[in-house]
Chain A
């Protein structure tokens, strides 16, 4: 069971955390919502819950709740630029289909 970050993603997260001035790491998760079943969650973490799984990769603490981990195991978090737009991308091997707009997905 593991979640990994690419080099650019890790750099970005570190910068964002430093700018924010607080927070222990990054939360990855899923929510059941959106037009195709699930949506990804990406949040700063101030408090780690006891049931959370904590991974460390490329110097960043990644926090995932056990329910989400089932859907996210093996995911690589990347940071990319598409034209003018830039942001984080979930490369999730379990993802079967995404809705047209790409905001939600099914496993």
Chain B
């Protein structure tokens, strides 16, 4: 007999049709799975009653261990024990090496743009390692619920870019999990606190986990969550606290034997234990006893404060920036939600509370709050709560656009636009007889392609040859609810289409996003100048292009040798200055050429009309005109 859960009135599902959905909080340090049963949401424990699964994978001789089983190998077999794999998701080799500087893994570059980590089980990508964690959570959910799960909501930091989101989805697919959607962690936290049914207003979510820090400013408006702004640092968290403490231990012990991976890992573990103990007591004794490293000392709260204050200050700077981005004042914040294990550190709570000048929401276990919200959302998405639709809006962190002539970026979707969204813009051809167009998709705030980040390229081919400017090419940008981008182009006269799913080869770090944003401000004026200069240059090319094709067609018939020389001189004059950085000069040269060509243009016009009217009488045109008038 299957075990039954209580349903809401009138919502009993048909046998074999009830859908099990879970929420997964895939964290840097710990992961969790939660589900809604009998109207109550709970995180699911393993057989030992532990809810948190350490996000650690150990590749042993015969077995793959996940969780605390894997963690115990972190000291004895550090190279085959992968911790904090989330930091490497969707990252390129350079970023991985920077991110992994604290760790001892060997990173391997590959042809496929997905770097790998060398382990006993082969060279593995972050996606494959992450899939092991997800698989362990899936097994736990299936064992607990007694049936296959039909879908999961997986949370990601708000700052995850397309590549990192895609990597997370890929990992879920490898683990055999159907992803209902990816949900931003802060949004999930707000849902867990039931703020979605509370009064409207602005909510700040402060999420300091093991490896990432996110601050999000959400606005609840008519039951809809809108992310006003996100900020943070995807490389700041409890791990960094531990690292600071470990550094302190090494400096106190004045021991130079701390370089081996095993000792490093051991010190990080000891540092972490000390940090956790200090949440309860005022001082803690640390005993280091490994290989050639012996030391005993005491760490008290004041010393901890000195060590960690610079890190916590960094989080507050991000908070200030997010508030500014959201254009809200501290006074306008209704609630501050605390998420992530590191918010248990008293210093963090004190400083955040002082910053926002209010009490913080801390009643739900900060480790479980994200998975709880994800489970609630999964329950809605799988259709168990049809009447209670919860719509969550996110924003894109950087503008998206395409390259136009002259290496300029035409933005199609601007940053901080709420997603999902689809936007279309019409473009046209540049040359006569052009039958193909390259679409270059770019991300960033700058005006020039060379200053933006290239996401993808594709070509729209095989539309009919037309005069320059006659083709109508509609480029559509579509960003789905998970922040993944699809770009399609269609030549509207012929219906020729092409599209691409944008899966960038690797992602951007927060610092890069910040840098790109900052540069766009710093260079605003330069960018304006370079844009108008490029526009003049493109215009010059266009004029010469048009002149050349006209000359080839009827230059001989319509122009005397004298006239032709004059035109060619003016043409040369423009050619000489067209790469100049003085936009006025180019403008003048274009004017000059156009004036010189005036007579020629007039003659061409006449000759064209003559050709068109040849063999027809004026009366025919008169009747045509008349019938056209009657039709309208």
Contacts and interface: CB of A to CB of B under 8 A. Distances in A.
B3 A104 contact: no
Given A16-B6, A19-B39, A42 B12 contact: yes
A54 interface: no
A33 B4 CA distance: 15
A16 to B, nearest CB: 5
B143 A89 contact: no
B6 A84 contact: no
Nearest to A20: B39
Contacts of B47: 83-84
B146 interface: yes
Contacts, number: 92
Nearest to B14: A33
B281 interface: no
A75 B47 CA distance: 31
Contacts of A7: none
A102 B15 CA distance: 9
Contacts of B7: 41-44
Given A19-B40, A27-B9, A46-B9, A85 B15 contact: no
B2 A45 contact: no
B1 interface: yes
B215 interface: no
Interface in A20-42: 20, 26-27, 29, 31, 33-35, 39-42
A50 interface: no
Given A43-B10, A82-B146, A83-B143, A89 B16 contact: no
A26 B7 CA distance: 10
Given A85-B143, A87-B37, A39 B14 contact: yes
A77 B4 CA distance: 10
Interface string A48-92: 000000000000000000000000000000001011111111100
A1 interface: no
Contacts of B6: 13, 16, 26, 42-44, 88
Contact of A42 (B5, B46, B144): B5
A87 B9 contact: no
B12 A43 contact: yes
A92 B1 CA distance: 11
Interface residues of A, number: 37
Q: Max chain B CB contacts within 10 Å: which of A41, A85, A90?
A: A85
A39 B12 CA distance: 10
Contacts of B14: 31, 33-34, 39
B415 interface: no
B16 A44 contact: no
Nearest to B147: A101
Contacts of A45: 9
A84 B44 contact: yes
A103 B13 CA distance: 11
Interface string B533-556: 000000000000000000000000
Nearest to B2: A102
Nearest to A81: B3
A22 to B, nearest CB: 10
A103 B39 contact: no
Nearest to A79: B3
Contacts of B37: 87
A45 B6 CA distance: 10
A43 B3 contact: no
Interface string B1-36: 111111111111011100000000000000000000
A83 B143 CA distance: 7
A98 B40 contact: no
B146 A85 contact: yes
B44 A39 contact: no
Given A16-B38, A35-B16, A44-B6, A90 B1 contact: yes
B145 interface: yes
Interface string B230-253: 000000000000000000000000
Interface of B: 1-12, 14-16, 37-40, 44-47, 140, 143-146
- 6 interchain residue pairs of minimum CB distance: A87-B3, A34-B15, A39-B15, A102-B2, A103-B15, A84-B144
Given A42-B6, A87-B4, 8 more contacts: A42-B5, A42-B7, A42-B12, A44-B6, A44-B8, A45-B9, A85-B144, A87-B2
